[in-house]
Amino acid sequence: MSTNKIKHIGIFTSGGDSPGMNAALYSIAKSAKVKGIKISGFRKGYEGLIDGDFLTLKSHDLQKLVHLGGTILKTARSKRFMELEGRKKAFQTLKANKIDALIAIGGDGTFKGLLAFSEICDIPFIGIPGTIDNDLAGTDYTLGFDSAVNTAIENIDKIRDTAESHNRVFIVEVMGRDSGYIGIHSGLTVGADAILIPESGKDLIYLLEKIKNYESEDAFLVVVSEGDEIGAELVASKIKEMNPNVDLRITKLGHVQRGGNPSALDRMLGIRMGVAAVEEILKGNTNKMVGFLNNQLKLTPFNKVVKQHQIKDELNRLLELFSK
Ligand SMILES: Nc1ncnc2c1ncn2[C@@H]1O[C@H](COP(=O)(O)OP(=O)(O)O)[C@@H](O)[C@H]1O
Ligand SMILES: O=P(O)(O)OC[C@H]1O[C@](O)(COP(=O)(O)O)[C@@H](O)[C@@H]1O
């Protein structure tokens, strides 16, 4: 489609919500308005596309909501969109409402969905990386990661207060389905004694080495990523085997990490990514995710936005150093 024919863009949020999604919605609506483009927001991710459930978005309304966590469009994981039948229905919705392009805010699953959709629908698709896990290739930071880490450290700091008071071992589980980014960032910045993440093979060895000599003279904080193969309970039993006298508690931070007002960094990321998404559609790009690498805009084809199962070298070195 010729880009000067783009008059109406559809947007939706999909997969797990993340703080900063509303800032991105505002930014898309604002930059579209300046360019004279209409914006429709589909509710509940792909479900709204299938059911034709949408509303016209106005930047004036959205600017009051930038500070809110979650997503005002709601989000979902859609089984129906995994089937061709569902995607055909979504295509009918777009055709019937004369939507010329789509912007999706979500993770790699959402972008896989758009790739499948592009087989039957030839309008441009652009993605914005929205997940607290920060595990996507093509961007240094995904929307929501910074806020989630801030929430994690705020809570772990509180746990430290009680842990220090009782000289307890605390195992705190943080989110990250397959990724240790929240774990390593929060673990390092709270001064954890041990950090266990799926990307490291040596972390448990270091932990057991340390706990062997621990004499309950202080708190001992362990941060474990939910995606770590060993898991909080097994870590607890290994610690007990090594040092049976420790007084140990487990806290799982869970979904609290997904909520709350977005940090300044996530709001700014949402603003920058929203503008970039509209501009890249107008330049004729499709099936690509906008991201920032080394603070420079970077477009990554959806088929290259795979989950990252490695952490950066520098982080690895920090992990190694602080584990000893
Ligand atoms: N291969 C696929 N084909 C069609 N739709 C898909 C595909 N993979 C994912 N999706 C759609 O994308 C949605 C979001 O993906 P999910 O993996 O749950 O979250 P995220 O986008 O955060 O990775 C799924 O619920 C599904 O509707
Ligand atoms: O809300 P749900 O469906 O329980 O999903 C929990 C998962 O979603 C996340 O919070 C974010 O992952 P996605 O953004 O990929 O959905 C993970 O850290 C966590 O494992």
Give the residue, by CA position, lying nearest to ligand 1 atom 19. 15
The confidence band for 1, taking pLDDT boundaries of 50, 70 and 90, is low
Res 80: pLDDT:
98
Give the residue, by CA position, lying nearest to ligand 2 atom 13. 16
The confidence band for 306, taking pLDDT boundaries of 50, 70 and 90, is confident
pLDDT digits (tens, 9 = 90+) for 23-46: 999 999 999 999 999 999 999 999
Res 312: pLDDT:
84
Measured in degrees and rounded to the nearest 5, phi and psi for residue 164 equal: -65, -40
CB-hemisphere CA count at 13 Å for 315? 18
Q: What is the mean pLDDT of residues 196-200?
A: 94
CB-hemisphere CA count at 13 Å for 11? 28
Q: What is the mean pLDDT of residues 276-293?
A: 98
Give the residue, by CA position, lying nearest to ligand 2 atom 3. 16
Q: Is 67 exposed, middle or buried (0-12, 13-18, 19+ CB in 10 A)?
A: exposed
Rounded alpha-carbon distances, angstroms, from residue 287 to 131, 146, 290, 305? 18, 26, 10, 11
Res 225: pLDDT:
97
Predicted-complex ipTM score: 0.98
Q: Do domains 3-144+262-304 and 145-258 have the same CATH topology?
A: yes
Going from the Cα of 111 to the center of ligand 1, the distance in angstroms, rounded, reads 7
**CB 112 less than 6 A from any atom of ligand 1:** yes
Q: Is 207 within 8 Å of 194 (Cβ atoms)?
A: yes
Mean pLDDT (the chain) is 96
Q: What is the mean pLDDT of residues 109-115?
A: 96
Res 2: pLDDT:
55
CATH 3.40.50.450 assigned to 3-144+262-304: yes
Going from the Cα of 177 to the center of ligand 2, the distance in angstroms, rounded, reads 6
Res 311: pLDDT:
84
Q: Which of 74-88, 161-175, 275-289, 297-311 has the lowest mean pLDDT?
A: 297-311
The confidence band for 148, taking pLDDT boundaries of 50, 70 and 90, is very high
Active site residues: 133
Res 4: pLDDT:
65
Residues 262, 7: Cα–Cα separation, whole Å? 30
Q: Which atom of ligand 1 is nearest to the CA of 16?
A: 22
Q: What is the mean pLDDT of residues 202-214?
A: 94
pTM of the predicted protein model: 0.96
pLDDT digits (tens, 9 = 90+) for 155-186: 999 999 999 999 999 999 999 999 999 999 99
Q: Is 34 exposed, middle or buried (0-12, 13-18, 19+ CB in 10 A)?
A: exposed
Quickly name the fold that domain 145-258 has: Rossmann fold (3.40.50)
- The domain segmentation of the chain, as residue ranges, is 3-144+262-304, 145-258
